[in-house]
């Protein structure tokens, strides 16, 4: 078996008596297009926070490219190629779109601690950030403050910030959340066009999005993995329909 | 979009970010304004020096409050440490000004680094209380250690040697004024450099969204502690300057009141924009000086009223008002 891009072994997380992650085993293959679905409160975002190190697991191991990262800080995991987006925008609202992405590129390029040269000497960093905006089709808004940009485009900035890190593994937490139907297509096109080198885990509510992008699906219920399989298997699974799709009586 | 227009749009956003550090002519205005008082208001030079010193103090606060978003009520701790360090050195036979300032910077900076590493683990109200505790504890320590600091009577017997071995600290405060202006100028160049460096830009990121900074791999605490220590160094230099130019140090250098007052001056001028200190401090101190003369009993009320008006109607302080006025004029143009 090849080394997984990201692997989780026996992951548990309790808040007191409340179990939010229950013995989760999970593999994200290199170049994967993997979706994580589950009803509200299933622990999807908690799972992402455990992966990124915002939360520490009660027990279990997390491996990134075969290396144990369970004890590493968020920053160290990012430096090893683990990028994420947030379900609710986490952007630098008072800064321009270009500066948002420049901060991320500068951090990845290792120039952000530089105190004695002006930022302008690192022109390549800004150009790379601008190139990323062009790729995502938001270069026109480069100099606008993020808070002045429409929500749909803010979601693209959210993705741009993650891509700026050149991640090997990308965790997308409901990338199209809150975006009107018409605009969500733009975001999905961006996600679909991502490099096949990136292993992607997408957390999503919207089944259209899931079935369009994912090659594999994991269903999470009450902090535990219910089932994993191809989209066809998941769509046909009786248990999933009962627990998640809620079609017990009128399926 | 026409091809040539797209070309222009292609280069300009990058250029505008890459060249943002370039000096604009208006930035030299404070340095032009600092010269005439030397001749015009020569009886006010001690007040002038104190204003320059407080500008430096406010500038150091702007680095942590305005850029890194760390709210503190204890910044006077570092000002006071600097003042006592320079003062105690000069009162005990080492009156050389420049090295005295260096010692003030070192003591304040080291304390800033150590306390920063401890208290910056906390956030919000907890952090605010801890900054307050530090200034109160140091104040009490200075009060108790009368043998060293002079306690409540203040430190006396400070004798400064001539600046650079050439210029005596005269009774009219001429040397003090030029000295304070020169130190502030050097500090301004330094602070401006930091603010426009990638490090400085990353501080604004921490202020805007800590969660995201963690998620893009920023060692947030290290950056915060670094800037906290740098701000402490500058505050220490400001305090050292006050001790050297006034040749006295009282317990009031290191109080909650002074921490609060500098915060108010900075907010009055405008936070997080480098020049708020240069506007807010003179505005506050000149207003205070005049109000105290016009209404010796209730002058603090008028200072308070001024603040309430600024906070309610002028977010962004005086410089914020200037910005909005300029926007209005620009927009009116066809």
Contact B223, B203 (CB under 8 A): yes
Bridge partners of A59?
Answer: A12
Q: Which of B16, B69, B217 to mutate to test the interface with A (most CBs of A within 10 A)?
A: B217
- Beta strands A82-84 and A67-68 are unpaired
Nearest CA-CA distance, residue A173 and chain B, Å: 13
pLDDT in the model for residue B36: 80
Contact B83, B104 (CB under 8 A): yes
pLDDT in the model for residue B288: 86
Both tokens of residue A93?
Answer: 């609202």
Whether pLDDT at B89 is above 90: yes
Q: How far, in Å, CA of A124 to CA of A122, rounded?
A: 5
Contact B213, B206 (CB under 8 A): yes
Residue B261 inside a domain? The answer is: no
Tell me, what DSSP letter sits at residue B93?
Answer: T
Phi, psi torsion values for A89, nearest 5 degrees: -45, 130
Count how many domains chain B has: 1
Residue B321 inside a domain? The answer is: no
Residue B316 inside a domain? The answer is: no
Phi, psi torsion values for B129, nearest 5 degrees: -65, -40
Contact B107, B130 (CB under 8 A): no
Instruction: Please name the residues in contact with B129: beta carbons below 8 A apart, sequence gap of 6 or more.
Output: none
Nearest CA-CA distance, residue A249 and chain B, Å: 43
Whether pLDDT at A158 is above 70: yes
Residue B325 inside a domain? The answer is: no
User: Exposed (0-12), middle (13-18) or buried (19+): which is A244, by Cβ within 10 Å?
Assistant: buried
Give the chain B residue whose CA is nearest to the CA of A117. B197
What's the whole-model pTM score?
0.89
Residue B209 inside a domain? The answer is: yes
Residue B249 inside a domain? The answer is: yes
pLDDT tens digits for range A96-151: 999 999 999 999 988 888 888 888 888 889 999 999 999 999 999 999 999 999 99
Give the chain B residue whose CA is nearest to the CA of A93. B208
Q: Which of A49, A53, A83, A120 to mutate to test the interface with B (most CBs of B within 10 A)?
A: A120
Alpha-carbon dihedral sign for residues B202, B204, B206, B208: negative
Residue B33 inside a domain? The answer is: no
pLDDT tens digits for range B119-160: 999 988 999 999 999 999 999 999 998 888 888 888 888 888
Tell me if residue B92 falls in helix, strand or coil: coil
B170 to A134, B11, B50, B94, B198: CA distances (angstroms): 63, 55, 15, 18, 43
pLDDT tens digits for range B41-63: 877 888 899 999 999 999 999 99
Q: Which value does ipTM take for this structure?
A: 0.89
Domain that holds residue B90: 43-253
pLDDT-based confidence at B5, cuts 50/70/90?
A: very low
Residue B327 inside a domain? The answer is: no
């Amino acid at each position: 078996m090849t080394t997984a891009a990201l692997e989780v072994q026996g992951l548990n997380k309790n808040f007191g008596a409340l179990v939010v992650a229950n013995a989760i085993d999970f593999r994200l293959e290199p170049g994967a297009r993997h979706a994580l679905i589950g009803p509200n409160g299933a622990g999807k975002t908690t799972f992402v926070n455990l992966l990124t190190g915002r939360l520490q697991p009660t027990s279990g191991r997390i491996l990134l490219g075969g290396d144990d990262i369970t004890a590493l800080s968020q920053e160290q995991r990012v430096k090893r190629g683990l990028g994420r987006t947030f379900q609710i925008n986490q952007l630098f609202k008072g800064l321009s779109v270009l500066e948002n992405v420049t901060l991320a590129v500068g951090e990845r390029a290792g120039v952000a601690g530089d105190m004695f040269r002006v930022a302008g000497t690192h022109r390549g960093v800004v150009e790379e950030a601008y190139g990323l905006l062009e790729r995502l089709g938001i270069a026109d808004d480069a100099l606008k403050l993020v808070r002045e940009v429409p929500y749909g485009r803010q979601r693209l900035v959210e993705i741009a910030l993650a891509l700026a890190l050149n991640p090997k593994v990308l965790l997308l937490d409901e990338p199209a959340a809150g975006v009107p139907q018409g605009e969500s297509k733009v975001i999905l096109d961006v996600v679909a066009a991502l490099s096949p080198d990136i292993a992607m885990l997408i957390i999503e509510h919207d089944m259209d999005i899931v079935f369009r992008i994912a090659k594999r699906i994991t269903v999470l219920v009450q902090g535990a993995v219910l089932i994993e399989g191809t989209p066809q298997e998941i769509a046909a699974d009786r248990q999933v329909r009962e627990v998640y799709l809620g079609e017990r009586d009128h399926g | 979009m026409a091809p040539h227009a797209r070309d222009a749009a292609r280069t300009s956003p990058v250029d505008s970010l890459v060249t943002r550090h370039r000096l604009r002519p208006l930035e030299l205005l404070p340095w032009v304004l600092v010269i005439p008082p030397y001749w015009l208001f020569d009886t006010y030079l001690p007040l002038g020096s104190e204003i320059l010193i407080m500008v430096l103090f406010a500038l150091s606060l702007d680095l942590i409050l305005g850029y890194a978003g760390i709210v503190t009520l204890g910044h006077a701790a570092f000002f006071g440490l600097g003042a006592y360090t320079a003062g105690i050195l000069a009162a005990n036979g080492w009156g050389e000004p420049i090295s005295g300032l260096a010692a003030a910077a070192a003591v304040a900076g080291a304390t800033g680094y150590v306390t920063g590493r401890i208290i910056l683990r906390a956030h919000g109200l907890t952090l605010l209380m801890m900054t307050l505790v530090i200034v109160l504890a140091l104040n009490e320590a200075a009060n108790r250690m009368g043998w060293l600091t002079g306690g409540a009577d203040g430190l006396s017997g400070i004798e400064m040697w001539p600046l650079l071995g050439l210029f005596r600290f005269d009774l009219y405060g001429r040397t003090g004024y030029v000295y304070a202006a020169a130190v502030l100028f050097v500090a301004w160049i330094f602070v401006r450099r930091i603010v426009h460096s990638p490090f400085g830009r990353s501080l604004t990121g921490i202020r805007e969204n800590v969660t995201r900074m963690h998620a893009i791999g920023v060692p947030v605490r290290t950056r915060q502690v670094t800037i906290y220590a740098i701000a402490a160094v500058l505050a220490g230099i400001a305090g050292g300057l006050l001790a050297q130019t006034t040749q006295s140090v009282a317990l009031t250098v290191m109080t909650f009141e002074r921490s609060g007052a500098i915060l108010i001056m900075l907010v009055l001028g405008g936070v997080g924009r480098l020049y708020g200190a240069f506007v807010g401090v003179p505005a506050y101190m000149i207003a205070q000086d005049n109000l105290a003369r016009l209404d010796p009993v209730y002058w603090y009320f008028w200072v308070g009223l001024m603040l309430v008006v600024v906070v309610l109607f002028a977010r962004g302080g005086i410089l914020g008002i200037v910005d909005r006025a300029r926007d209005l004029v620009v927009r009116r143009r066809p």
